[in-house]
Amino acid sequence: LECYYLLNTDQTAAIGWVHNLNAYWENHYYVNNQHENYLGCASPGAQSIALDGLLPGTDYQVTWFPTRMNMTALPADHNDETQTGTVTLDLSSLPFNGIYSWPANDNLDTLRSDYAFMIHALPELRMMPVAGSDSALAPLGWDFSLFPNPTTGELNVLLPEGSPVNLSIMDVAGREVFQTDGLSEGMHRLDLRDLVPGAYSVRATSGAASKTKLLIKR
């Protein structure tokens, strides 16, 4: 098997193409002008391949896509819950084969030699879920500020007067990646250079007051 794939910047998603190396054009020939032989396209020795480079500690889903028009037969989508940062593409539900068939379906779904795929983190979130309503939790006028936003590393947090504030930062999967408690009013500088680029939610909590803001790390 061969596989080519692209990772996004925060290593939580990938798109790619996997191919049976035995399906090579020099192995094909025509018996006559209506009958093409695919017998030279042998099944591969394995029906799975492991891809590394993804963010560890995360479950992933593999979704399959056609590579040409009228292609309908695809492997079953599956999850990889090893959380190792290595995702295995499992083709066993519709393996690559070396079978030829003519003239059924114009040879499109009978010879399976390549698939396209997408890998994304689970759960697939369109936005960060926030428990409760910020407007109900935060007293009128209670707010905090983040700058610069987007940031490349250092983040300034300006906190209002009142009780000490607990600050937490969560990634798009809801994991807490930074947390500090008991911050007093005024300006605080946070070193976020170790965070991977991406979108984060910053939640400030002080007693009954709580508010969440979006942070972009470049």
Q: Give Cβ neighbours of residue 152 (< 8 Å, ≥ 6 apart).
A: 193, 217, 218
Write out pLDDT tens, residues 75-128. Answer: 899 999 999 999 999 988 888 875 544 444 444 444 567 889 999 987 654 444
The pLDDT of residue 173: 79
Write out pLDDT tens, residues 204-213. Answer: 999 888 899 9
**Domain extent listing, the chain:** 2-122, 134-217
pLDDT at 150 over 50: yes
Write out pLDDT tens, residues 187-206. Answer: 999 999 988 888 899 999 99
Architecture of domain 134-217: Sandwich (2.60)
